[in-house]
Amino acid sequence: MKTNERRHMRKNLEVEVDKFNDERGGWRLAELFVESHRPAGGGRSSRGRAMLRALRRRWEAYKYRFVPWIALNLRHKRRTLRYVPEDCKDKIVSDEEVLETLLKIFKALFISDFSRQTNILALLPEVKSTYLELLHLQPSKSKITFSCYESENIFSPEELLFHTLGFSITRNQSSLVSAGTGVFVTRGFVPKGAVVAMYPGTVYQKYEPIFFQSIGNPFIFRCIDGVLIDGNDKRISKAVYRSCSRRDQLGPFRMSDVSWLTPVVENPLAVGQYVNNCSPDEAANVCYQEFDVPECFPIELKQYLPNVTYSHDIQSPLRCVVLIALRDIKQGEELFSNYYTIVN
């Protein structure tokens, strides 16, 4: 090869290597490599492009767990970072506000399904009388829930969410190219600081086994203290969650919600694992916040918590993760979060 040709190739390669710092630069370099090595007849070019597209899809799902890629892209993705100066300051709203919101929607769900709670209420007469008072003594303040009780649950969980918190959300095809499923506000209005979703899944301590569950799994969320939440609703992750949920059940009392593993969810907030990462064109409008369920949480409402611990003998409170609105979110908008968290 002549010296001038080598210089020309080296110069072009340096230009393309610079593009690698961009999110898609590495793939553009690979595409150029395929183009430059394509046979003159182009016999297998279509097969090569198909393989490249398949590899690209796999990479898009995996790259956020590939440390070298994250290190290269941190300075180019400033708007997708969430900085936390200290662990204790990772709170957009207080735990008391989060608890108040969860109790509000969970109570509405419980009352809407009141006729099916017979076994639980038979063991909790005081709780039964409290809910009966809510149903019959304050019908003007609880028209929706009262109608549900009288008419055998005529409202869907999404409708209850709208009537209780003022908005509803659902899963649908994301507006981002190749992003798969996303989460949208379908009705109403989400005010800044509101709990808009929950991140469901099995909760693992740092020392617990999660290797096989993590293979090809883009739904593992890492908390600031190293606790992991597996939000995958398929394959081995699904089986592990169901097993742990059945293990924790106490007679008629379900300690967790398994409906998020199905297309029809009982807790309409439990879709947070499908919220996509923000992009240069779409800034984040929600962020993650960790929440430990207090011991005083009503036992009859735990059936709506979409999380379960992997080990039965864990003494610490159940870890949940909620998504908080960073700004007012209007009907029709898709939710976008920050996948990166830096703790100084």
Residue 187 CA to residue 168 CA, distance in Å, equals: 5
Residue 310 CA to residue 298 CA, distance in Å, equals: 21
DSSP 320: E
Q: Which two tokens stand for residue 267?
A: 């807790």
Number of other CB atoms surrounding residue 58 within 10 Å: 11
Residue 62 CA to residue 218 CA, distance in Å, equals: 7
Residue 106 CA to residue 305 CA, distance in Å, equals: 9
Q: How many helices (H) and strands (E) does the chain have?
A: 11, 13
Q: Determine the distance from the C-alpha atom of residue 54 to the mean position of all C-alpha atoms in its chain, rounded to a whole number.
A: 24
Walking along the chain (344 residues) 10 residues at a time, the average pLDDT comes out as 53 46 48 52 69 77 61 54 54 92 94 86 86 65 46 74 95 86 95 96 91 86 89 93 94 94 94 90 90 94 96 86 95 87 49
Residue 151 CA to residue 225 CA, distance in Å, equals: 46
Residues ≥6 apart with Cβ < 8 Å to 153: 112, 113, 115, 116
Reduce the DSSP state of residue 123 to 3 states and report it: helix
Q: Provide the pLDDT for residue 149.
A: 45
Q: How much is the pTM?
A: 0.73
Kindly calculate the radius of gyration of the chain based on its CA atoms and give it in whole angstroms: 24
Q: Which of 150, 44, 99, 128 is nearest to 294 (CA)?
A: 99
